[in-house]
Amino acid sequence: MPPSGLPGTDDVPGADGDRTAGPPPDARTADGTGEGPRARRWCRGTRLLVAATGAWALLLVLHVLLAGRWWLWLLVEAVPPLTLVAVPLLLLAVTPLARPVRRWLAPVLVLLLLAGAHLAGFGAVVRGGPDTAARGTQVKVFAWSTDYWRMDDDEQDFYAFLRRQDADVYLLQEYLYWQDDEPVRIDDTTRLREELPGYHISVEGELLTLSRLPVVAEHHRRVPDTGTAWYREGSKAQRTDIRVGDRTVSFYNVHMPVPFQVGDNPLSGRFYRFLRDQYDWRDRELAALRADLAENPHPALLTGDFNSPWTGSLLDPAPGSRAHSPASGVLPARSWPVSDYPLPRLWRLDWLFTTGDLAVPGYRFGGGGDFSDHAAQEIRLVVPGPTTP
């Protein structure tokens, strides 16, 4: 018998071969299986989901930081903006299966989804919504990237399409031909005067502005009259000052350089040299446009083919301007491609900005698919009268 006050062996848990004794209580799970540490391990699917979320968050941050700032990032800029919504939605769809992390992972993905939706253009109509109550002189503007000026089109149908627009101001891009990968300058002014009588014709490089309103001034960049300087050194934002009512308004006809050529081999050095050259070219032209706007005393409308789906979010061609988006249903507006390419219409490359007190009560993407890979922009501009002191 043991001394008084000391437990006997029968009182000691696990003594004398007590085979039922297990790990201490803190090592057991609620069901007493003793599998706590193993149950807390993440399965492979959960680890993959967490890794994918982290990678996507990093990519989104890098996109915000590098878009428009690094030439190699032009490859990422080519991704359709709707991807920024599709990826977090897909990850959210499988999050309920990752039970150990779903409570904190779902809110993270919702934040990534909202950020992506903002960058992709959801809600843009609200931010730049129509000015239905605007009062002043109305101007009908038609802007369109023509896909190399009726190179493969029937002339009669092409000009009939332009006439039907009955615009006060036409802002047209790609007024040129291409031959053996070189731009070819054209002069179609005689036909233009026959088809659109009464319009002032202004040409700068491959940009064409037509106006039946009085033209106050044309601001053309001086370039050498040799080779292809008219195209490669000419302005990519043609400015024409036009009299609207009692005010002068600057109309900028914009066509920024393409980032790369569809079909080029991405494994070749030529592809990346072209990519860097195009980035430098775009950077110079955007800087020139911003500088001109900063010194321009007139209200301005800027529109055309900016060749980037991120112009309205991550690229700002006109600081202090107001971006406009046409109503397009559930998804953000898209303008390319409407023809020529076996791709879905997922990109918006054609944009509209205004400065000053100009109002846009009407704006939509119209036709153009019969002649070009770009949808045309139909714009109703209102220019308020001059303010009185």
CATH number of the domain at 330, please: 3.60.10.10
Last residue of a domain, one of 91, 120, 149: 120
Across the range 30-57, mean pLDDT stands at 76
- For residue 40, name the pLDDT band (cuts at 50, 70, 90): low
pLDDT at residue number 387 = 65
In this structure, are 154 and 220 located in the same domain?
yes
Q: Bin 21: left if φ > 0, else alpha if -120 < ψ < 50, else beta.
A: beta
pLDDT at residue number 315 = 95
In this structure, are 279 and 179 located in the same domain?
yes
Across the range 286-309, mean pLDDT stands at 98
Lowest average pLDDT, out of 116-130, 207-221, 334-348, goes to 116-130
Across the range 7-16, mean pLDDT stands at 45
Which two structure tokens, joined as six digits, stand for 117? Answer: 């939706």
In a domain, 206, yes or no: yes
- Spatial separation of the C-alpha atoms in residues 68 and 316, rounded to whole Å: 9
In this structure, are 67 and 175 located in the same domain?
no
Instruction: Say how many domains are in the chain.
Output: 2
- For residue 340, name the pLDDT band (cuts at 50, 70, 90): confident
Last residue of a domain, one of 120, 152, 183: 120
Q: Flag whether pLDDT at 45 surpasses 90.
A: no
Range of the domain at 244: 133-383
In this structure, are 357 and 257 located in the same domain?
yes
Angle at 92 between CA 86 and CA 93, to 5 degrees: 90
Tokens 């390419």 correspond to: 341
pLDDT at residue number 165 = 97
In this structure, are 146 and 116 located in the same domain?
no
Give the Å distances, CA to CA, from 97 to 41, 91, 101, 141.
Answer: 15, 11, 9, 52
- For residue 259, name the pLDDT band (cuts at 50, 70, 90): very high
pLDDT at residue number 7 = 46
In this structure, are 97 and 201 located in the same domain?
no
In a domain, 22, yes or no: no
In this structure, are 341 and 366 located in the same domain?
yes
In this structure, are 173 and 78 located in the same domain?
no
Q: Flag whether pLDDT at 150 surpasses 60.
A: yes
**Exposure letters 28-42 (e unless 16+ CB within 10 A, then b):** eeeeeeeeeeeeeee
- For residue 123, name the pLDDT band (cuts at 50, 70, 90): confident
- For residue 1, name the pLDDT band (cuts at 50, 70, 90): very low
In this structure, are 159 and 112 located in the same domain?
no
In this structure, are 103 and 144 located in the same domain?
no
In this structure, are 189 and 215 located in the same domain?
yes
In a domain, 125, yes or no: no
Q: Flag whether pLDDT at 37 surpasses 60.
A: no
In this structure, are 215 and 88 located in the same domain?
no
